[in-house]
């Protein structure tokens, strides 16, 4: 006790001396009004001292500071301005298109009407001047040759895309491809030798890990914010696409409008995600932001470069996450996992033996706790790839090997011709099953499952879910029918079809 009291006593004396010294120094600097000169010293090049410390994977204790990684990352994050010109209308037409039928096989259609004409009744037609809508966001350079990743919603439907680098150079960008189901788009500018960020394995990211968000919120270029990973595999039901893949990395690093498409990086400068959304009652930062994991980004970019479109494998299941309430309702033996509600037509998993009521526990030996995690894992594979599922069936664990299929229920990639034509139109389609055809009383048809940047979205009001039954009066039963017809088509095209939940026949016209 005496040693402890002596140590405490010495500490008090030192504190008192330091306090006196600080008081005297302050008086000398600011309190001496008798002289004519007040001396103020400025320190240049003062070192940055980490306020806290962190431990690396090797067990090394290092100061936690963000200056080095910020300098490394900022040159690779760009500002994106997208401009959409809204013309006099679009080409949706309700009614009998026979009066235009003579124009379909030559260029007269385009000469008189143009690919952007909106067919309406004479009483509805009103001339309007073009209007420009300008949006802004961020992007990340991922390759020295000018490839840039951003969000699809940043550039969707844009007629002009302008990219400003960190050094204020400005370039026009072209869209290589886009994937609405993950809200990822790939651009390219005509420049070489650019700084870029490497994509790292987002599966290795841990909750509680420090991260930086880099982007251009509110047009404030090159803004860096810091936070931690708050959660993984988060689904917030924000993507409107029918086949949306939501398994976001959640972070409390400040993300605001304009950050969309920007970088979420670790302290080594590796890209772990693309900032995409915020959870906010006001539209501005309110605590949490969400980023598309880099593993999904990598898969989308690879497919867009290799195939021109995203080739995604599907299990063919209707699913939901297991929680305590569902476990009690369904009398399940587990409280985490993915519950199989029902089996789709031409289901890959169903044909492999999976049944409604099963609970998926693992994919390729990796545990899955939520439907978002399952969708993320499966989204990394192509049609024709095999995945191993471990399921719980009434308390008994079982293993199934599933060969994934595309949206049409086939174990193959979309062919090159299909990719080029559908990519030009900016759509993905699936063939209708027998039950749907019988329900709608049609011979065949192709349901539009995705709409991305392309001719149809730029020039029509077509919505996801539209079922194409005819093209220029010719029946379209399969994807091959549509692709073969449009491959060598020039001039005007009229797509005819229906919506499953809306009455009447719809027509969409555009020029090729």
With left for phi above 0 and alpha for psi between -120 and 50, is residue 105 left, alpha or beta? alpha
Distance CA(27)–CA(86), nearest Å, equals: 67
DSSP for residue 405: B
Phi, psi dihedrals of residue 111, rounded to the nearest 5°? -60, -45
Pairing relation of β-strands 160-164 and 386-393?
Answer: unpaired
Distance CA(411)–CA(144), nearest Å, equals: 35
CB of 140 within 8 A of CB of 274? yes
Secondary structure element (H or E) that encloses residue 263, with its range: strand 263-265
Distance CA(466)–CA(477), nearest Å, equals: 14
Q: Among residues 455, 507, 410, which one has the least CA distance to residue 100?
A: 507
Active-site residue, from 179, 183, 252, 472: 183
Active-site residue, from 260, 321, 347, 418: 260
In 3-state terms the chain splits into helix, strand, coil percentages (rounded to 5) of 25, 35, 40
Phi, psi dihedrals of residue 86, rounded to the nearest 5°? -90, 115
The residue to which tokens 């605590």 are assigned: 287
Indicate if 501 belongs to the active site: no
CB of 210 within 8 A of CB of 266? yes
How does DSSP assign 155-194, residue by residue? HTT-SEEEEE-TTS-EEEEEEEEEETTTTEEEEEES--S-
Distance CA(158)–CA(453), nearest Å, equals: 8
Pairing relation of β-strands 366-367 and 474-475?
Answer: unpaired
Indicate if 183 belongs to the active site: yes
Active-site residue, from 153, 321, 347, 392: 153
Distance CA(245)–CA(207), nearest Å, equals: 20
Distance CA(104)–CA(473), nearest Å, equals: 10
How does DSSP assign 183-239, residue by residue? TEEEEEES--S-----B--GGG--TT-EEEEEE-GGG--SEEEEEEEEEEEE-----
Indicate if 153 belongs to the active site: yes
Q: Among residues 81, 70, 78, 119, which one has the least CA distance to residue 98?
A: 119
CB atoms near residue 125 (< 10 Å):
13
- Which are the catalytic amino acids? 153, 183, 260
């Amino acid at each position: 006790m005496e040693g402890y009291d002596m140590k405490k006593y010495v500490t008090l004396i030192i504190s008192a001396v330091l306090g006196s010294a600080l008081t005297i120094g302050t008086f000398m600097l600011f309190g001496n009004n008798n002289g004519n000169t007040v001396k103020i010293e400025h320190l240049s090049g003062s070192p940055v001292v980490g306020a806290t410390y962190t431990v690396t994977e090797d067990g090394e204790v290092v100061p936690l500071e963000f200056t080095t990684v910020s300098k490394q990352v900022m040159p690779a994050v760009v500002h994106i301005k997208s401009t959409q010109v809204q013309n006099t209308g679009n080409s949706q037409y309700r009614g009998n298109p026979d009066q235009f039928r003579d124009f379909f096989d030559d260029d007269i259609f385009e000469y008189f009407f143009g690919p952007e004409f909106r067919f309406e009744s004479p009483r509805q037609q009103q001339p309007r001047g073009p209007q420009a809508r300008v949006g802004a966001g961020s992007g990340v350079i991922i390759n020295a040759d000018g490839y840039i990743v951003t969000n699809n919603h940043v550039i969707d439907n844009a007629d002009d895309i302008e990219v400003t680098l960190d050094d204020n150079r400005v370039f026009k960008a072209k869209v290589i491809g886009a994937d609405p189901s993950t809200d990822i788009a790939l651009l390219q500018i005509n420049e070489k030798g650019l700084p870029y960020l490497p994509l790292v394995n987002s599966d290795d990211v841990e909750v509680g890990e420090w991260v930086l968000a880099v982007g251009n919120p509110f047009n404030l270029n090159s803004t860096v914010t810091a936070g931690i990973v708050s959660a993984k595999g988060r689904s917030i039901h924000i993507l409107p696409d029918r086949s949306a893949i939501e398994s976001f990395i959640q972070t409390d690093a400040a993300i605001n409008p304009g950050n969309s498409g920007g970088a979420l990086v670790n302290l080594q400068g590796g890209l772990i995600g693309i900032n995409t959304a915020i959870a906010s009652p006001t539209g501005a930062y309110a605590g949490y932001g969400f980023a598309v994991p880099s593993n999904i980004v990598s898969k989308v970019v690879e497919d867009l470069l290799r195939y021109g479109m995203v080739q995604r494998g599907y299990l063919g299941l209707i699913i939901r996450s297991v929680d305590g309430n569902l476990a009690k309702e369904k009398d399940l033996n587990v409280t985490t996992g993915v519950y199989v509600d029902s089996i789709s037509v031409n289901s890959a998993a169903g044909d492999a033996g999976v049944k409604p009521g099963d609970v998926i526990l693992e994919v390729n030996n990796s545990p899955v706790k939520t439907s978002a995690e399952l969708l993320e894992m499966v989204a990394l594979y192509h049609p024709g790839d095999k995945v191993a599922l471990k399921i719980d069936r009434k308390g008994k664990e079982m293993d199934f090997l599933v060969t994934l299929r595309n949206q049409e229920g086939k174990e193959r990639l979309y062919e090159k011709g299909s990719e080029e034509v559908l990519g030009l139109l900016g759509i993905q389609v699936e063939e209708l099953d027998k039950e749907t055809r019988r329900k709608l009383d049609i011979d065949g048809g192709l349901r539009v499952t995705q709409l991305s940047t392309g001719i149809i979205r730029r020039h029509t009001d077509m919505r996801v879910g539209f079922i194409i039954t005819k093209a220029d009066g010719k029946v379209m039963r399969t994807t091959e029918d549509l692709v073969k017809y449009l491959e060598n088509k020039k001039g005007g095209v009229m797509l005819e079809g229906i919506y499953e939940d809306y009455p009447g026949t719809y027509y969409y016209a555009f020029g090729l």
